[in-house]
Amino acid sequence: EAEEDVREEIGYYIEDYLELGRLEPYNEYGIDLEHPYEGLFLKTGRRYKYTINHTKKVYYSLDETDILFQNNTKNDFSDPLPILMGYGRVTEPGEWLGDIIGVSDSRPEGYLLLKKLYMNW
């Protein structure tokens, strides 16, 4: 999914180079202008069925867990992991920050499936 966006971004850099004769202020992505896409997009992404918090012994599935906003409306368009792991200047620390997280296509034995996750967006 990201390939289209990355190709577009690299395209902007190449256009700047062709117009200006150089990349301003620097070549942020280290693009080889002779072969700008070489070595990119070789790996096929994979989505796993379950996201597991081994520290808390819970897990969720985008197929089985309702991801809800604070007002109880459903969020059908995003994975809550970045919010659960939140860290940095633009977000509050997430509930799962510092926990051991994994992914799997198998249900982890002895762990609780979260039926609902309320996200603080």
pLDDT higher than 70, residue 15: yes
With pLDDT > 90 as the criterion, what percentage of the chain qualifies?
39
Half-sphere exposure of 98 (CA within 13 A, CB side): 3
The mean pLDDT of 78-84, rounded to a whole number, is 88
Give residue 93's pLDDT. Answer: 85
Question: If you ran DSSP here, which 8-state letter would residue 97 be given?
Answer: T
The mean pLDDT of 60-76, rounded to a whole number, is 91
Tens-place pLDDT, residues 38-55: 777 766 666 789 999 999
Residue that the structure tokens 């180079």 belong to? 17
pTM for this model (two decimals): 0.61
Give residue 28's pLDDT. Answer: 65
CB 83 within 8 A of CB 91: yes
